[in-house]
């Protein structure tokens, strides 16, 4: 489990940094922030995300009743955010992206954390598991495979943001994620 937590946190950290770089100009000026305390609460209800909170020295007691994990600088969680926090793009944000290929890449980027935990226990997503004992029953080989797929897609998107080009091989890597996107 520790190996999965470390690798998951590392990838989430990288995704968070890239999204901040790409979108902070628009989201930083936004007066209709899409963060909501009920979404923040998912991080404390989920057994897996709670372990990620603990890893950074946080617990439910540290969450603000009204603003959740949001502070003046944005979301205060380094990692362990509910995957939906990365997947949502408002129309304004999407319309500011230069072309369809960038919008496609951004959408995949937003789905990478969601992809890792799909069907982690029967039909349950990893972050929907509430009982920590159920984490022992996870199919770890499949979970690590999904993590590797998300890591590979992340590197493709990082490359695209620099080169502005996606090859046929890049699309193959990204399509693994699109097939599973919520």
Collapse the DSSP code of 139 into the 3-class scheme (helix H, G, I; strand E, B; otherwise coil) and give the result: coil
| CB closer to ligand SF4 out of 11 and 166 | 11
CB under 6 A: which stretch of 54-62, 74-82, 110-118, 155-163 binds ligand SF4?
74-82
43's CB contacts (< 8 A; 6+ apart) are 49, 50, 52, 53, 63, 69, 77, 80, 81, 82
Query: In the set 4, 49, 51, 70, which binds ligand SF4 (CB under 6 A)?
Result: 70
Query: Which residue in the block uniquely carries the two structure tokens 């954390």?
Result: 113
Show the binding pattern over residues 15-54: x = contacts ligand SF4 (CB under 6 A), - = does not.
-----------xx--x-xxxxx--xx--x-----------
Find the distance separating the first CA and the last CA of the chain, reported in whole Å. 25
| CB closer to ligand SF4 out of 50 and 173 | 50
Nearest approach in angstroms of CB 113 to ligand SF4 is 11
Nearest approach in angstroms of CB 3 to ligand SF4 is 24
| CB closer to ligand SF4 out of 82 and 117 | 82
Nearest approach in angstroms of CB 172 to ligand SF4 is 29
Total binding residues toward ligand SF4, as defined by CB under 6 A: 23
Report residue 158 as tokens. Answer: 């990082």
Q: Report d(CA 70, CA 66) in Å as an integer.
A: 9
DSSP state of 71: E
Nearest approach in angstroms of CB 84 to ligand SF4 is 7
Question: With binding defined as CB under 6 A, does residue 93 bind ligand SF4?
Answer: yes
Q: Report d(CA 90, CA 92) in Å as an integer.
A: 5
Q: Report d(CA 93, CA 32) in Å as an integer.
A: 12
């Amino acid at each position: 489990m520790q190996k999965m937590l470390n690798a998951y946190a590392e990838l989430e950290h990288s995704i968070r940094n890239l999204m901040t770089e790409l979108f902070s100009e628009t989201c930083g000026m936004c007066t209709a922030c899409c963060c909501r305390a009920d979404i923040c609460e998912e991080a404390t209800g989920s057994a897996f995300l709670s372990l990620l909170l603990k890893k950074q020295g946080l617990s439910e007691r540290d969450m603000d009743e009204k603003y959740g994990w949001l502070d003046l600088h944005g979301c205060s969680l380094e990692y362990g955010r509910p995957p939906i926090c990365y997947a949502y793009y408002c129309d304004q944000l999407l319309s500011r992206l230069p072309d369809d290929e960038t919008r496609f890449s951004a959408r995949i980027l937003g789905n990478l954390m969601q992809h890792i935990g799909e069907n982690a226990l029967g039909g349950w997503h990893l972050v929907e598991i509430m009982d920590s004992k159920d984490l022992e029953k996870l199919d770890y080989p499949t979970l690590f495979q999904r993590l590797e797929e998300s890591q590979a897609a992340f590197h493709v998107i990082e490359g695209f943001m620099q080169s502005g080009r996606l090859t046929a091989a890049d699309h193959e890597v990204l399509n693994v994620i699109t097939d599973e996107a919520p």
